[in-house]
Chain A
């Protein structure tokens, strides 16, 4: 079945450091891929998405490229800020599995000044 494997945390970075959070997936069909962010005490918010191979999603300085050949969707940001501290979830949705969504386990990021 479909699944998402996400880099385990927690991750601690200094402000202005480069961020990479790895995400790989297994899917039977043609999935869309998402990154969501969860701030403390809140629900998940969409950060970015990509709906087909080679698409690049981007938002608020974050980027991720849908790589079908490596089944990956790694999240990157060139210079993190304290306000980026949150939990990040990689997710996929696959029409081939009946409209279900699959989430990774989440990666906690703490950015220190």
Chain B
């Protein structure tokens, strides 16, 4: 089954404790992206990647890191999480980075930073 898989689905942690949210897709997609969803703000793009070893900042990259060492994986790293990073996070992928390509989304990761 074609899918985007995120782990964990839920995480409660404390300020400053490094964490990684994994994202993997099995569709051989070139383009991958991370979003955060906050009430009243919709989805905002954090980082995206056009292909292996190519990453770019989205609208809200501060406090986040990403890497794209393999085509299928695009982990999101919070080196020193803070409470304002409490949010619902989505990973997405699309076949290419062309604007007419729709994105396929994972089921989301709910992070709570205390």
A interface with B by C-beta (< 8 Å): 4, 6, 30-32, 34, 36, 41-46, 49, 51, 89, 91, 93-95, 98-106
Contacts and interface: CB of A to CB of B under 8 A. Distances in A.
B105 A100 contact: no
Interface residues of B, number: 29
A109 B31 CA distance: 30
Contacts of B58: 100
Nearest to A30: B99
Interface of B: 4, 31, 33, 35, 40-45, 48, 50, 56, 58-59, 90, 92, 97-108
B108 to A, nearest CB: 6
Nearest to B33: A101
B42 A49 contact: no
Contacts of A49: 100, 102
